[in-house]
Amino acid sequence: MYILGVSALYHDSAATLIKDGEIIAAAQEERFTRIKHDWHMPEQAIKYCLEEGNITSTDLDAVVFYDNPLKTLDRYMKNILAAGEDSKDVIEHSFDMMFSERLWVHKKVEALLGINPIRKFLVCEHHISHAASAFYPSPYESAVILTLDGVGEWATTTISVGRKEHIQIKEEMHFPHSLGLFYSAFTYFCGFKVNSGDYKFMGLAPYGEPVYEDIIRENILDIKEDGSFEMNLEYFDYQYGRTMTNKKMEELFGGKRREPESEITKREMDIAASVQRITEDIIFRMVRHAKREYGSAIDNLVLAGGVALNCVANGKLKRSGIFKNIWIQPAAGDAGGSLGCALYAAYQYYGLKRDVKSGDSQKGSYLGPRFSHKEIKEFLDKSGYIYQELGEDIHKKVAEVLADGMVVGLFQGRMEFGPRALGNRSIIADARSESMQVKLNQKIKFRESFRPFAPSVLRENVAEYFELDDDSPYMLLVADVCRNRRNEFGLHENLKKYNGNMLEVVRQKRSDIPAVTHVDYSARIQTVTEETNPYYYKVIKEFKKLTGCSVIVNTSFNVRGEPIVCKPQEAYECFMRTDMDILVLEDFILKKEDQPEWKETEDWQERYRLD
Amino acid sequence: MESKEKGMFHDWSVRNIGNYMYHSANKNTKSYFVQHNSNKSIVEYGFETIMDFDTELRCMWERDVYMEEIVKTVAVSTMKNYKRKVVRTEKEVVLDEFIYTF
């Protein structure tokens, strides 16, 4: 039985193909169209999924959309009733899309796949899609499920219980009270974009002190013991289709919101720290409540929804031991909804039996396109690019150039599904280098200097470097660098010394793996195993043989504002536009100095606007 | 969607303000969580005619008397605004960077 899951028409559209409950392929549309967070129907992602499954649209038994448009319409209409005179902007901003696109999603699918009266078209509740994406691929027979995001139809948070094939929502919170929107509101207030800046805001938090925590709690949130909360809407404008926060918020924080790309001041750092602390408190309360109410006989917690990408909170949850085991859907945002709704249809609509795997069923999240040796060779030859073909020696060679301090664009295997690059579409470098964080931020990613980089580490060595001895294959857990590896480093003294200049602060060596050690000694860890990614594992293993170090830097293969590369051509373009030294395409290696002169054919910095 | 239609929705919301308020519990309540009130989390979806869609809307809002007045407008607007083919204009391609889309 083939089922196609689709998420689209909001942001981060994606498609997933499953066969008898097994995930065959999944990809985000942005990777094909090169439009960040592309919201359109995922035409190219669907095409890819069908090709990967070696089927045509006539073979599909069902197509499932990850959101119920009628229920969302209900929210839209009641939202304007609540707004009354103030409803003008939300009507202007949202109604076109609802009436011309979302309500017609069945026809949009027909237009892409052709009319087929046998194929069912189903819609699944948004948070059920998230819950299913977290539970079904997890390695657990039963689990408590927590989903947290901006908003689905009405729900913004759900607590559910999953048992084998069944998921039952027990409790939920409704719009406009939303942890995702609360977090996004402050992301906006601090000058970052609402659809792409949340992780920057999270990365900023360690620089600050939570001095605004009490102000926020007293004025903006009423949080209950079980983590449920209501927001004081007087400070927000999102419900009116305008910006996230309003003038009253500016008054509360003593001035206007930060202008995008302007200097980041102590105020923004402190707001980020305060909001992160409150977010963690809310999540912890919810998880403790869920354990008390539904988890007396369940040791497993699974998470999805955009807030589940808050890897700092995830890491603390893991360490808390409230639940013995935690699994987080790597495509936790809306893209992952395509996966969840397809699986939910398989198990709850069609009644398939679920086969629970001892690892998980996400296949490392390597669910996207792969390019064969032949395809890559043809591309390189046709383009006249200069390369060496190394065969089995490639891993050793990559390790050597890393050890020499070079920055490598690594393109191999199937593209990752979800926002993180996990070694198949990654830029990698030596984590021991003191200058690497600044170099990668400034000359390769062209992004803000304060932002940290993540480590990939051999699974068997993770505890030698980090205060974690567990799997973290999807880079969704943060843990501290081991104490014996740290250098004396006073963050706030340094901020004072350098007058808040974060570039100077990050130049200070904080451990013996400085390129992946954030200013609070934390790191967002990816553990790598031979079973899940043999190529990447061998590269790090060879690097360890040469250097004694099992850790390398791993950042996504793109520049700021660009979707992660999907095809060899995009990898080559990114390689040539930046200060990357080496490009590796499967077992082909390309050196920058050998390449023909690069002539730009487009204003790519305009095309990939800063995120 | 034409400005006239948008105006109709706005006028309706102004006339009927107060008929719907965001869920807000008593501050003394122990929890702001609510029960999930749907037993159909996955359903078949699709309509062809205005009559089909009108029926769906009336079914959804059968307990919300205050929605009765807007059913017809919603149904007509839905039919009028269906775009068979999306043309990706520059304006449509990129999401607004500072307004959350939900």
The alpha carbon of A278 is separated from its chain's Cα centroid by a whole number of angstroms, namely 21
Beta carbons of A84 and B6 less than 8 Å apart: no
Nearest CA in chain A to B70: A77
Q: Is the pLDDT of residue B91 over 70?
A: no
Interface of B with A in 8-37 (CB under 8 A): 9-10, 12-14, 16-25, 27, 29-36
Burial category of B48 from C-beta neighbours within 10 Å (exposed 0-12, middle 13-18, buried 19 and up): exposed
In a domain, B79, yes or no: yes
Residue with tokens 């109709």: B8
Beta strands A62-65 and A588-591 are: unpaired
Residue A411 Cα distances to A87, A92, A396, A443, A496, angstroms: 48, 43, 16, 20, 41
Residue A44 neighbours by CB under 8 Å, 6+ apart: A29, A32, A33
Asked whether residue B54 is domain-assigned, the answer is yes
Average pLDDT for residues B25-52, to the nearest whole number? 91
Q: In this complex, which of A10, A36, A341 lies closest to B102 when CB atoms are compared?
A: A10
Contact indicator for A122, A300 with CB cutoff of 8 Å = no
Give the model confidence (pLDDT) of A423-475 as tens digits.
999 999 999 999 999 999 998 888 888 999 999 999 999 999 999 999 999 99
Over residues A393-414, the pLDDT tens digits come to 999 999 999 999 999 999 999 9
| Per-residue pLDDT at A48 | 98
3-state secondary structure of A1: coil
Cβ burial of A165 (10 Å; 0-12, 13-18, 19+) is middle
Query: Which residue, chain included where needed, has tokens 């308020």?
Result: B21
* pLDDT value of position B86: 64
Tens-digit pLDDT profile for residues A26-80: 999 999 999 999 999 999 999 999 999 999 999 999 999 999 999 999 999 999 9
Residue B24 has pLDDT above 90, yes or no: no
Give B11's contacts (C-beta < 8 A, 6+ positions apart).
none
Best of A13, A76, A99, A234 to disrupt the B interface by mutation (most B CBs within 10 Å)?
A: A99
CB A15 within 8 A of CB A27: yes
Give yes or no for a contact between A241 and A89, defined as CB atoms under 8 angstroms apart: yes
- Say what the pLDDT of residue A138 is: 98
A349-384 pLDDT, tens digit each: 999 999 998 899 999 999 999 999 999 999 999 999
B20 CB neighbours in chain A (<8 A) are 78, 81-82
Closest to A122 (Cβ–Cβ): which among B33, B43, B82? B43
Chain A's closest residue to B74, CA to CA, is A99
Whole-angstrom distance, CA of residue B101 vs CA of residue B94: 11
Residue A582 CA, chain-centre distance (Å), reads 26
Share of chain A above pLDDT 90, in %: 94
Question: How far is the alpha carbon of A419 from chain B, nearest alpha carbon, in Å?
Answer: 18
Tokens describing residue A494:
């340094």
Q: Enumerate helices (H) and strands (E) in chain A, giving the number of each.
A: 22, 21
pLDDT of residue A535: 98
- To the nearest whole Å, the CA of B4 is away from the closest chain A CA by 12
Secondary structure E strands in A175-228 = 221-223
Q: Residues of A with CB below 8 A from B69's CB?
A: none
Quick check: bond before A176 cis, omega within 30?
yes
Token reading at A526: 């990816």
Q: Is the pLDDT of residue B92 over 70?
A: no
Residue B87 — pLDDT band, cuts 50, 70, 90?
A: low
Angle of helix A394-403 relative to helix A534-547, nearest 10 degrees? 50
Mutation target for B interface from A36, A67, A77, A231: give the one with most B CBs within 10 A: A77
Closest CA to B74 of A81, A123, A85: A81
Query: What is the predicted ipTM?
Result: 0.94
What pLDDT, on the 0 to 100 scale, is given for residue B94? Answer: 61
Residue by residue, DSSP assigns A360-420 as -SSGGGB-S----HHHHHHHHHHHT---EE-GGGHHHHHHHHHHTT--EEEE-SSPBSSSS
Does residue B87 lie in a domain region? yes
Q: Which residues 6+ apart lie within 8 Å of A284 measured at CB?
A: A227, A316, A317, A320, A322
Q: What is the length of chain B?
A: 102
Residue A26 near residue A417, CB atoms below 8 Å: yes
Mutation to test the B interface, candidates A81, A107, A149, A347, most B Cβ within 10 Å? A81
**Mean pLDDT (whole number) for B75-80:** 97
pLDDT for the residue A50: 98
Q: DSSP string covering A117-153, please? A: TTSEEEEE-HHHHHHHHHHTTSS-SEEEEEEE-S-SS
Residue of A35, A91, A172 lying closest to B34 (CB–CB): A172
Residue B93 has pLDDT above 70, yes or no: no
- The answer to whether A93 contacts B99, with C-beta atoms less than 8 Å apart, is yes
**Residue A266 dihedral angles phi and psi, to the nearest 5°:** -60, -30
Which one, of A92, A15, A63, A309, lies nearest residue A183 by Cα? A309
> Could you tell me if residue B37 is inside a domain?
no
Residue A350 forms contact with B (CB below 8 Å):
no
Helix (H) or strand (E) holding A339: helix A335-344
**The tokens 């000359």 sit on which residue?**
A443
B31 is a domain residue: no
Task: Determine whether A531 is exposed, middle or buried from the number of CB atoms within 10 Å of its CB (0-12, 13-18, 19+).
Answer: exposed
- Can you give the residue range of the structural domain that contains B99? 1-10+47-102
Residue A603: predicted pLDDT? 81
State which residues of chain A have pLDDT below 70.
none
A496-512 confidence digits (pLDDT tens): 999 999 999 999 999 99
Position B78 in a domain: yes
Domains of chain A: 1-66+68-123+341-361 (3.30.420.40), 138-333 (3.30.420.40), 373-607 (3.90.870.20)
**Residue A356 three-state SS:** coil
Minimal-distance CA residue of chain A relative to B76: A99
Specify the number of domains making up chain B. Answer: 1
Pairing label, strands A408-411, A425-430: antiparallel
Tell me if B9 and A85 make a contact (CB, 8 A cut-off). Answer: no
A222 vs B: CB within 8 A: yes
**Closest Cβ–Cβ partner in B6, B13, B30 for A84:** B13
Residues 47-86 of chain B with CB under 8 A from chain A are: 47, 56-57, 60-61, 66-67, 70, 74, 77-78, 81-86
How many other CB atoms are found less than 10 A from the CB of residue A133? Answer: 36
Say yes or no: A165 contacts chain B, CB-CB below 8 A: no
> Minimal CA–CA distance to A588: which of A414, A370, A381, A440?
A381
